[in-house]
Amino acid sequence: MTKPPRPRNWLKDIQSAYDTVVIGSGLAGMTSANLLAKLGHKVLLAEHHYNLGGMATWFKRKGGHIMDISLHGFPCGMIKTLRKYWSKDISNRVIQLKNVRFDNPQFSINTSFDKIDFTHILKERFGILREVIDEFFQTARGMNFYDDIVMTTRELFEKFFPGRTDVWRFLMEPITYANGSTLDDPAITYGIVFSNFMDKGVFTYQGGTDHLIKEMKKELLKNGVDIRTHCMVEKIYVEDKTVQGVRINGQDISCKSVVSNSNIVTTIEQLVGEENFDPEYIKDVKNVRLNNSSCQVYMGIKKGEKIPHVGDLLFSSEADEYCTEKILSKDITSRTFSFYYPEIRPGTDRYSIVSSTNARYKDWANLSEKEYLHDKHHLEQTTLDALDTYVPGIRKKIDHVEASTPNTFKRYTLHPSGTSFGTKFEGLQVSRDLPKQIKGLFHAGSVGIIMSGWLGAANYGVIVANETDKFLRELSPSLVTV
């Protein structure tokens, strides 16, 4: 009789102590780990999933399909972040998406999604005065986290474009997809993210997420990061309000600091435990609202089959006006299609299409298995119907279709309610205040809408790595600066 294989020990040869344990390999976690290692610290990166990347990930399916989860588009700032904190080769692969499309009952527009083209469209198509457009861009660009602005995005739009729901939709819909923000979130969350995109347009990574994450893994290893997948961090040990270590897959490991890329609320409530924090701080934690989740439909085009160039990103909606309720509704009226042509993965002749919609966890969480499968099937079929308008005969061109729901995002990233974009604005202050509560404990990851998306998460990883480095240097002044 053959013996069953022994379970693999994912912690084999692990060291007993590290300077920093980074919990989670999202873009913030990986960027923090890489920078801390480059600064000379001994870093362990623990990821519960078998792949690195968090939401910046991919999966493969029979028939040679590779599906990207969150590679739809990011602002040009990512080029600098990748060059400075990863490598020149990685940053050189960033390319612009030139054809962004809107199609809805209010307008059909193609744009390069930058300030020059938006100014032109706002003036010529929507008839807005040049002075108003310039002042709007200036106001959005001037917003920053430290401003004491209580204005909502709705009030911002009302001020500049009163009653112009068509203009609101043009300016808001893509940002809702980029970070889950709505008209009722603080205007600064809109202003910062919108201005980042307006700088030069929308960009993507040539080679796909699989290439990017493999390159990042090589860099991490080169810089000495101990990477462990299949490793669930179950506990962060704290004594006298100071980090002592972590428990991973049942094993205790000492560390001087922790950078948690796990959700901010999970980090506080589950990994550390509320009893370790000031009650006033816990009150703030209880008020943190999670952002929404997503549904996606992944469609693989048959080998040898082609699709015409119908745009890189297509914001399509059947709703009369922009409406957060409708965007989140399970009864979908609004979808963002990402078209992946062979240029995205040079050397291949493959196409794929991913449809994304914002979604609420509660609409999917409590279904019976039968209802869940039924609703997923419905999601796939209605998405194919919607896509057929833009790519006629799409059903004949695909040989793979599958959907993900908020349950899927929860399972793979461990974010409560499968939140795709961290938390609403108030989460950012809670994240910033974490090291003031527990010495050596830091959080880096999607939070507060601003620090969300590929650029926000990676940049937050840099900010927090620098703070962690400062903390470690204060503990050991003899550390040599690299």
Ligand X SMILES: Cc1cc2nc3c(=O)[nH]c(=O)nc-3n(C[C@H](O)[C@H](O)[C@H](O)COP(=O)(O)OP(=O)(O)OC[C@H]3O[C@@H](n4cnc5c(N)ncnc54)[C@H](O)[C@@H]3O)c2cc1C
Interface pick for ligand X out of 42, 65, 72, 228 (rule CB under 6 A)? 72
According to the binding rule CB under 6 A, does residue 97 interact with ligand X? no
Residues 6+ apart with CB under 8 A from 206: 93, 94, 95, 343, 344, 345, 346
Please name the amino acid found at residue 277. F
Kindly state the smallest distance separating residue 316's Cβ from ligand X, in Å. 16
Residues 6+ apart with CB under 8 A from 138: none
According to the binding rule CB under 6 A, does residue 25 interact with ligand X? yes
Interface pick for ligand X out of 106, 356, 408, 468 (rule CB under 6 A)? 356
Q: Which is nearer to ligand X, 170 or 177 (CB)?
A: 177
Q: Which is nearer to ligand X, 23 or 299 (CB)?
A: 23
Kindly state the smallest distance separating residue 474's Cβ from ligand X, in Å. 26
Q: Which is nearer to ligand X, 121 or 458 (CB)?
A: 458
Interface pick for ligand X out of 24, 245, 427, 448 (rule CB under 6 A)? 24
Q: Which stretch binds ligand X (CB under 6 A): 236-244, 284-292, 450-458, 470-478?
A: 450-458
According to the binding rule CB under 6 A, does residue 236 interact with ligand X? no
Which is nearest to 431 in space by CA: 257, 281, 293?
281
Q: Which two tokens mark 98?
A: 């030139």
Alpha-carbon distance of 292 to 177, in angstroms, equals 10
Interface pick for ligand X out of 132, 151, 232, 367 (rule CB under 6 A)? 232
Site for ligand X in 240-299 (CB under 6 A): 261-262, 294, 296
According to the binding rule CB under 6 A, does residue 79 interact with ligand X? no
According to the binding rule CB under 6 A, does residue 430 interact with ligand X? no
127 torsion bin: left (phi>0), alpha (psi -120 to 50), beta (else): left
Q: What is the DSSP letter of 216?
A: H
Using CB under 6 A as the binding criterion, the count of chain residues that bind ligand X stands at 40
Site for ligand X in 160-179 (CB under 6 A): 178
Interface pick for ligand X out of 38, 48, 65, 443 (rule CB under 6 A)? 48
Alpha-carbon distance of 341 to 374, in angstroms, equals 30
According to the binding rule CB under 6 A, does residue 153 interact with ligand X? no
Q: What is the helix (H) or strand (E) element at residue 337, kind and residue range?
A: strand 334-340
Q: Which two tokens mark 257?
A: 């600091």
Contact 297, 480 (CB under 8 A): no
Q: Which two tokens mark 281?
A: 């701080």
- Quote the Cα angle for 194-197-199, to 5°: 110
Q: Which two tokens mark 459?
A: 């940049």
Q: CA 371, 373, 376, 381: dihedral to nearest 10 degrees?
A: -100
According to the binding rule CB under 6 A, does residue 445 interact with ligand X? yes
Sign of the dihedral through C-alpha 376, 379, 384, 387: negative
Alpha-carbon distance of 248 to 22, in angstroms, equals 12
According to the binding rule CB under 6 A, does residue 357 interact with ligand X? no
Q: Which is nearer to ligand X, 200 or 473 (CB)?
A: 200
Kindly state the smallest distance separating residue 376's Cβ from ligand X, in Å. 15
Contact pattern for ligand X over residues 102 through 131, marking x by CB under 6 A: ------------------------------
According to the binding rule CB under 6 A, does residue 191 interact with ligand X? no
Kindly state the smallest distance separating residue 385's Cβ from ligand X, in Å. 20
Alpha-carbon distance of 43 to 356, in angstroms, equals 35
**Would you list the DSSP string of 377-410?**
HHHHHHHHHHHHTTSTTHHHHEEEEEEE-HHHHH
Alpha-carbon distance of 426 to 50, in angstroms, equals 32
Contact 121, 169 (CB under 8 A): no
Indicate the residue whose CB is closest to ligand X: 26
Site for ligand X in 369-428 (CB under 6 A): 409, 413-415, 420-421
Interface pick for ligand X out of 47, 173, 219, 312 (rule CB under 6 A)? 47
Interface pick for ligand X out of 21, 37, 44, 56 (rule CB under 6 A)? 56
According to the binding rule CB under 6 A, does residue 323 interact with ligand X? no
Residues that bind ligand X (CB under 6 A): 23-29, 46-49, 54-56, 69-70, 72-74, 178, 232-233, 261-262, 294, 296, 356, 409, 413-415, 420-421, 445-446, 452-455, 457
